[in-house]
Structure 1
Amino acid sequence: MDTQQQKMLKNLSPTRIILPVLVGLGVLFYMILTDDNINAEVIKNSLSQMDFWWVIASFIVLFARDFGYMFRIRALTDNKLDWNSSFFVIMLWEFASAVTPSVVGGTTVAVFIMNKEKIPFGKALSFVMLTAILDNLFFVFASLLVIALFPGSIFPENNYTTEILGFTLGLKQIFVVSVSLIAVYTLFMAWGLFIGPKSFKRFLWKLTSTKFTKRWRRDAVKSGNEMIVASRELRGHPLSYWVKVIASTIFIWSARYAMLNCLINAFLHISLLGISHQGFLDQCLIFGRQVIMWIVMLISPTPGSAGTAEFFFGEFFKEFFQDGGIVLIVALFWRLFTYYAYLAIGSIVLPRWITKRF
């Protein structure tokens, strides 16, 4: 096994789940213990009154999202991956994303995994780059849409602020910084992938031509060469190809957000078939706030946004609950379903995949 493979497998090591679990659960349990609105009686009543039909619905939506991921990866590869290989790719990709900081993601590991599933390096690289661009475009356009639909209520009314590089920022300012960085990065990557890969490489070369930046020239050249290879691999696809990958991207993220709607409804005691007109608008607002919250979380330096996600969840959704402490219980279920579950699944799937591919 070469050094690069050893490095990739080290990034996938199940021992890497320890830090995000400790950070995420530590922050959440600290918030629960220091919140005067929550105690053993509140927790007991919340769990006893939880609507299990909505919990089941949240599982169904979650499985639909994973199916959407597998459908998209098969569509991207022109069905070169079968369903079994697609399952391994998606589960390990989710695992890699969960144990790396959100600002980094698991894209490098994803290329390695797909390559081991018999997808040539150039194609695997192009597919991973394309998914990153599509996902980021969804974040940007969806966030602008929900802000237009809920201009006065999409951001929670709280006094949360933090200091970054000497600047005091609230949730709105953090969102603006994050979405701007995502938009610039995505446009830059899209230009390199679809319009001018060689110009992209020349730009990186010039960017690393100064005395200070020259230390990164080797990585810049490598990135430029990879962009040229990836761009070449994406040429010549029919319109139906792009329709499938774009539609599946919209479905994947809509299902991810709809899952939390189901989970919140389980604790709000809303009838599964009894959502009024006003209730429907509330559901849209919950959905929209997830879009904004997700963008805020993307700049988190912790693995899988551990700790950051739990904290911001309370900031964005506590106003929907009469008892403010219940939001922390919902946050625990939300992270169990959408984060810790994939840490566990990845730890189980990884040894089987290594045995299969090595």
Structure 2
Amino acid sequence: MPEITNIRTKPAQTVAYVLLPVLIGLAVIGYLFWKEFDPRIFTTVSFSAKTTFFVAIAVLFMLGRDVGLIWRYRKISGNQLSWWQAIRVNILCEFTSAVTPSAVGGSSLIVLFLNREGINAGRSTALMFASLFLDELFFVISIPLILVSVSIPDLFGESTVLSKSIMNLFFLVYGLIVLWTLVLYIGLFKRPEWIRDFLNAIFRHGILKRWSKQISELGDNLVTSSHAIGKKPFLFWFSAFGATSFAWISRYLVVNALLLAFSPVAGKQLIAFGRQFILWIIMTISPTPGGSGFSEYMFSQYYADFFPIAGMALVIAFIWRIITYYLYLAVGVCVVPGWLKKR
């Protein structure tokens, strides 16, 4: 079976990959605080028993997301991955998502991670397509439900140039996601041969020709694995999609828990949940690592109406990013160097 080329990362590079997104995020938060600082923030924020409880719930929701993804990796691999291997793959994917631009994400490296856990490159590629398909399918199905449940003004905010631009961008990106989901569906269930032929055509020319034999073998394995996965029963896909939905919903509920902890506006939870879809779709085009800076800014704008003091949203944005982002950087920097050294 063809193997994927080794990747060597120096310790200094690993530290740089971690520090860059952290510095970008902190710089944006610091700048926004400097512009919108209000001393009343310190009188508003208090860690009562209720606040501590809902912050703990937010952390549990984030762990729930990991449980869903780990369950999915085990499921789509046919339990070939052990629980610990599935946990490791999840950590590696989340770390690479945190240190690469959102448009790249960790999903593009699932092939490498699965291959190093003992799954051949062709099957790893098929499993990557399956993971991507399930993620995109969740958005394709969920967003129309959100649009039916929550009004456009509540989702996108007051009618301003910014809100209209975000709305137009959102629907454009959603349209691209629908098309991408269709491509994944065709490649996974209907015509995996098209992907094989496309790869073979690319690797027949120039400097890429030296890998043509390996790519040809990978393509054949991809077709075989895709046909095998595509023939899985409905219950298999229903279970895998359930794990995917559980993971994404758990992630989005982190914000709801934080708003219950800090916001006096408790009756707008569906709106808060729906806005997470908007925020996440917009974040996918962010050029910064893990959406650093952009995420904090958009959160402070989208959830400002949940707080009486504008700067309060920045405090919650920072806590939100600690739970959903910085923790993965911390865990990843502990796991990745050892993984790279061994594999």
Q: Same fold (TM over 0.5)?
A: yes
Determine if contact 1:257/1:287 at 8 Å carries over to the other structure: yes
Task: Give the drift of 1:348.
Answer: 0.9
Identity rate of aligned residues, in percent?
32
Task: Give the drift of 1:230.
Answer: 4.8
Deviations 1:284-311 (A, max 9, x none): 1111110111111111111111111111
Q: 1:342 aligns with which of 295, 304, 328?
A: 328
Distance 2:98 2:105 in 1: 8
Deviations 1:76-133 (A, max 9, x none): 1121112211111111110011111111112232211111111222222211211111
Q: 1:293 aligns with which of 279, 298, 323?
A: 279
Distance 2:177 2:207 in 1: 22
Q: Which runs of 5+ in 1 are unaligned?
A: 163-168, 209-213
Residue 241 of structure 2 corresponds to which residue in structure 1?
Answer: 246
Determine if contact 1:81/1:117 at 8 Å carries over to the other structure: yes
Residue 211 of structure 1 corresponds to which residue in structure 2?
Answer: none
Determine if contact 2:150/2:270 at 8 Å carries over to the other structure: no
Residue 191 of structure 1 corresponds to which residue in structure 2?
Answer: 186
Structure 1 residue 255 corresponds to structure 2 residue 229: no
Residue 326 of structure 1 corresponds to which residue in structure 2?
Answer: 312
Q: What is the TM-score normalised by the length of structure 1?
A: 0.83
1:92 aligned partner, one-letter code: L
Task: Give the drift of 1:204.
Answer: 7.5
Residue 157 of structure 2 corresponds to which residue in structure 1?
Answer: 156
Task: Give the drift of 1:316.
Answer: 1.4
The 1:236–1:187 alpha-carbon spacing in structure 2 relative to 1, beyond 3 Å, is closer
Distance 2:191 2:208 in 1: 19
Determine if contact 1:314/1:327 at 8 Å carries over to the other structure: yes
1:53 aligned partner, one-letter code: F
RMSD: 3.1
Q: 1:303 aligns with which of 289, 301, 311?
A: 289
The 1:303–1:230 alpha-carbon spacing in structure 2 relative to 1, beyond 3 Å, is farther
Report matched runs for 1:226-237 at 5 Å. Answer: 228=223, 230-237=225-232
Q: Which runs of 5+ in 2 are unaligned?
A: none
Determine if contact 1:101/1:302 at 8 Å carries over to the other structure: yes
Residue 82 of structure 1 corresponds to which residue in structure 2?
Answer: 82
Report matched runs for 1:162-177 at 5 Å. Answer: 170-177=165-172
1:26 aligned partner, one-letter code: A
Determine if contact 2:91/2:328 at 8 Å carries over to the other structure: yes
Deviations 1:165-187 (A, max 9, x none): xxxx6111110121112111221
Determine if contact 1:103/1:299 at 8 Å carries over to the other structure: yes
Q: 1:316 aligns with which of 302, 324, 336?
A: 302
Determine if contact 2:61/2:251 at 8 Å carries over to the other structure: yes
The 1:86–1:44 alpha-carbon spacing in structure 2 relative to 1, beyond 3 Å, is farther
**SS at the partner of 1:13?**
helix
Determine if contact 1:122/1:233 at 8 Å carries over to the other structure: no
Residue 20 of structure 2 corresponds to which residue in structure 1?
Answer: 19
Distance 1:25 1:48 in 2: 22
Q: What is the TM-score normalised by the length of structure 2?
A: 0.86
Structure 1 residue 69 corresponds to structure 2 residue 69: yes
Task: Give the drift of 1:160.
Answer: 4.8
Deviations 1:300-325 (A, max 9, x none): 11111111111111221111111121
Residue 45 of structure 1 corresponds to which residue in structure 2?
Answer: 44
The 1:336–1:118 alpha-carbon spacing in structure 2 relative to 1, beyond 3 Å, is same
Residue 6 of structure 2 corresponds to which residue in structure 1?
Answer: 5
Distance 2:131 2:7 in 1: 25
Residue 123 of structure 1 corresponds to which residue in structure 2?
Answer: 123
Determine if contact 1:23/1:306 at 8 Å carries over to the other structure: yes
Determine if contact 2:256/2:269 at 8 Å carries over to the other structure: yes
**SS at the partner of 2:6?**
helix
1:196 aligned partner, one-letter code: R
1:149 aligned partner, one-letter code: S
Deviations 1:182-202 (A, max 9, x none): 111221122122111224455
Aligned length: 334
Distance 2:270 2:289 in 1: 29
Residue 111 of structure 1 corresponds to which residue in structure 2?
Answer: 111
Distance 1:285 1:193 in 2: 35
Report matched runs for 1:134-149 at 5 Å. Answer: 134-149=134-149
Determine if contact 1:51/1:269 at 8 Å carries over to the other structure: no
Report matched runs for 1:95-110 at 5 Å. Answer: 95-110=95-110
Distance 2:120 2:199 in 1: 25
Distance 2:121 2:139 in 1: 27
**SS at the partner of 2:289?**
coil
The 1:8–1:228 alpha-carbon spacing in structure 2 relative to 1, beyond 3 Å, is farther
Determine if contact 2:188/2:230 at 8 Å carries over to the other structure: no
